[in-house]
Amino acid sequence: MLCQLLTKDFQDSSLIHALVEIWKTPYDEGRFHLLDGIAYHRTKNTCVMTVMDISLINIVLKECYDIPFSGQLSEERTREKIKTFIWWPMWQKDVSEYCKTCDRSQRANTSTGKRLGNMIKNQEPSRPWEIFHMDWVTGPPPGGDRSYNACLVIVDIFSKTEIFLPCHKDDTDMDKALLIWNRVISWTSILTNIISDRDPKFTSALLTNHHQLFGTKLSFSTAYHPQTDSLAGRMIQTLEDMMRRLCAYGPKFEDFDGFTHYWCIFFPALELEYKTSIHATIN
């Protein structure tokens, strides 16, 4: 179709509209030229042949990358080689995918980056509330007499006991410290080791100083290692499932603005239910 347009001395609107968009744009820009029955693509400094048969693209890529004379060089060098003699729509994307999916090259390439260190196993607790996970849940609709919209989830590694504390997303550092002091210390005694992600709620200066005052060790997970505090993440998923069942299909409580889900009032019952249920890892 492209060759038909290039051989005509006039614009055939029906053929132009039939062109696929990736071909129509360079055609409208006047980048194609027909010489001896071969279509060429022109840029500012070069004029190269145009591949119009999709089946030929893999042949070109193989000849420019796989054979011994090509050396299976880098993606950038392969692009530089191809652009000197041939063109097709989205050719740079095809070259990139071809190079990145070459199994032989990926196995043979030399790693120049710093090697990753070995993963360090979390310390095993010897008693309840010696080491526990902590994480925040944000996103629930406002509930309760104080319109809570977040929840602090604490899970003991040794006993798998959990604590759910309703709070607010915009609580200050002092509010967070007081929440832990008033609602957690009395239950767990002095905190020894807390495992959490690097949420600003946990890394704030006030909370850090608060824990240093009592000798609490803070163990933060590194980037892209959610398994470090996976126990808290799994507990959050369980909590959300329980809350969804109660709030979506359970009782509703009416306030002055109408019907609202008071999800936070279920926390004591959910804590009791989870504490008294059988946990597979501790029987």
Q: Looking at domain 2-103, which CATH architecture does it have?
A: Orthogonal Bundle (1.10)
pLDDT tens for residues 133-186? 878 888 888 877 788 888 888 888 888 888 888 889 888 877 877 787 777 777
**131-276: CATH topology:** Nucleotidyltransferase; domain 5 (3.30.420)
Model confidence pTM above 0.95:
no
pLDDT at 132 (0 to 100): 77
> CATH 3.30.420.10 region(s) of the chain?
131-276
DSSP 20-57: -HHHHHHHHTT-EEEETTEEEEE-SS-EEEE---THHH
Residue stretches of the chain with pLDDT short of 50 = 1, 9-10, 206, 222-228, 258-260
Give the largest Cα separation in the chain, rounded.
89
Lookup: tokens for 130: 């010696």
Q: Which pLDDT score, from 0 to 100, does residue 58 have?
A: 85
Going by the DSSP 8-state scheme, the letter that residue 222 receives in this structure is: P
pLDDT at 107: 72
What is the DSSP track for 100-135?
HT-HHHHHHSPP-SPPPPPPPPPPPPSSTTSEEEEE
pLDDT score for 191: 62
CATH 1.10.340.70 in the chain: give the residue spans: 2-103
Q: What is the pLDDT of residue 225?
A: 47
